[in-house]
Amino acid sequence: MPILVRPTTPFPGQKPGTSGLRKKVAVFQQPNYLENFVQSIFDSLEGFQGQTLVLGGDGRFFNREAIDVILRMAAANGFGRVLVGRQGILSTPAASCVIRKHRAFGGIVLSASHNPGGPHEDFGIKYNIGAGGPAPEKVTEAIYACSQAVGEYRIFDGGAVDIDRLGIQHLGEMAVEVVDPVADYVELMERLFDFSAIRRLFASGFRMRYDAMHAVTGPYALAILEGCLGAPAGTVVNGTPLPDFGGGHPDPNLVHAHDLVAAMSAPDAPDFGAASDGDGDRNMVLGRNFYVTPSDSLAVLAANARLAPGYTGGLAGIARSMPTSQAADRVAAALGIRCYETPTGWKFFGNLLDAGLATFCGEESFGTGSDHVREKDGLWAVLLWLNLLAVRRQSMETIVRDHWAVHGRNFYSRHDYEGIGTAEADGLMDHLRGSLADLAGRRFGAYIVRLADDFAYTDPVDGSVSMRQGIRVVFSDGSRIVYRLSGTGTEGATLRVYIERFEPDPGKHDQDTQAALADLIRLADQIAGITLRTGRSAPTVIT
């Protein structure tokens, strides 16, 4: 087999974040940049010779070129077989599904998730382990160490794979099987949800709008919603994946999914609206003129999980990221199960799921999932909501308000300050860390600080410790302000500020969220000096 061994030198900064390595496309297009990182993945692994690798991505710009390189490098490094999605497509949850079903050694997922795509935008790559989830920190640290020492890479020279044609092809001794990217995922969803009940819901005249945002979930939503479930043609909009996501920002929130929000606020609004992001692992759900926060969505779905066939046995536990609201904690307490609080990043849920300690997981950043795969799964969350709506035959708003009446409402909002200079963002966080000791016990108007710390997490399964995972300021009434720097961007820094207040009185549940949190929003700026230190008088995005 013609294998080339090419000399190279390390690139600085190839350190995987919470979801792999994300950079501008132009960075990945540098000679040897992608090759170095892929070789570093392979160099950090042991025992994969002759094994199966899963490969695919969200179809963004540079996806096909990267797949060609990775296939040839996998052949040169000794993999026996690669399963690649037709046209290079595999949603992130579908990649996890394929890894698990076919007992693959691992997988490489090409995506920058909800970040924009195109020749001048973002690209990303991450390694998923054999359990189907993102590589844990010990693996990403090993990959980074290899990237800083790499001196050569191996690549198969010759031949090419037609990734548009289903079936088996070969690169030397390695088999490349181009698979239907949707089939295995659809099969799994059919086992988890009552498709017959959802079909009857659509047959009754129920209307839905699903905005795939020209991202990867389009083919999946078309196959399931309009195909398997009989939703009317046109239920799925923007269903064709495009390399630049149609020029949009494939992030399913109130700002970037503005067309869906407008449709759900119109006089003739559908009964249910939903959107997913670039790689299909996030979701936003809405009723008519009614927005459901991801935190509330996790809590409501957990409270009603038994209505879906895949979860009739109940939940072993719930896990949420630390910045996510504590609404799920109240459901867990009512169910008599544990709620785990982890750092942000789906990889932290993996050990809990593998150990059978948790069944449902969620993050405030529009991510929800369960133990069916080891990634968050946007379309899964939408289907669970449809299953719930089909069984309860109530509107989404009624279901959520009934939930608040039982469990109380956690008013919750996230304020993002995007594109802050790295030095300013680091300085703000350093200032906060330096003031933690003085914050405890301080009074700010009606609020008294009960706890101020930099969140640290000890994994209950393997004992690993993750430090500096976000600064928490918790008040005596349970209200919280949390500050984090996001690891998902490619330019500057994004400061995320999370504000939460619990309201047990149903008579006060109709307040506007920002009004209900107004005092805490002012406190968040005062305590951290956001305006003073960044020059920003308002957040870029509020969700």
As annotated, the active-site residues are 113
Q: What is the DSSP string of 364-379?
A: TTTEEEETTSSS--HH
Distance CA 45, CA 143 (A): 9
> Residue 438: how many CB atoms within 10 A of its CB?
10
Distance CA 262, CA 150 (A): 50
Task: Work out the angle at residue 17's Cα, subtended by the Cα atoms of residues 15 and 22, and round it to the nearest 5 degrees.
Answer: 80
31 DSSP assignment:
T
Pick from 392, 320, 374, 333: which is nearest to 133 by CA?
Answer: 374
Distance CA 419, CA 340 (A): 31
DSSP, collapsed to helix, strand or coil, labels residue 432 as helix
Strand-pair partners of 92: none
By the 8 A CB rule, do 58 and 215 touch? Answer: yes
Buried b (16+ CB within 10 A) or exposed e, 504-537: eeeeebeeebeebbebbbebbbebbebeebbebe
Distance CA 505, CA 286 (A): 24
Q: In what order do the strands lie in the sheet with 174-179?
A: 21-24, 122-129, 106-110, 52-57, 81-89, 174-179, 167-171
> Residue 36: how many CB atoms within 10 A of its CB?
22
Cβ neighbours of residue 310 under 8 Å, at least 6 residues apart? 191, 192, 193, 370, 372
Using alpha carbons, list the distances in angstroms from residue 537 to 426, 494, 512, 531.
18, 15, 21, 5
User: How long a stretch of residues is the chain?
Assistant: 543
Using alpha carbons, list the distances in angstroms from residue 455 to 18, 464, 479.
16, 14, 16
Max CA distance (Å), the chain: 73
Rg over CA atoms, the chain: 23
Pick from 306, 327, 355: which is nearest to 504 by CA?
Answer: 327
Q: Where are the alpha helices (DSSP H) in 181-257?
A: 183-192, 195-203, 217-221
List, as own/partner pairs, every contact residues 449-454 make where C-beta atoms lie below 8 angstroms and the sequence separation is at least 24, other chains included: 449/473, 449/474, 449/475, 449/476, 450/474, 450/475, 450/476
Phi first, then psi: give them for residue 9, nearest 5 degrees. -130, 155
**Phi-psi group of 396: left, alpha or beta (phi > 0 → left; psi -120 to 50 → alpha; rest → beta):** alpha
Q: How many Cα atoms sit within 13 Å of 404 on the Cβ side?
A: 23
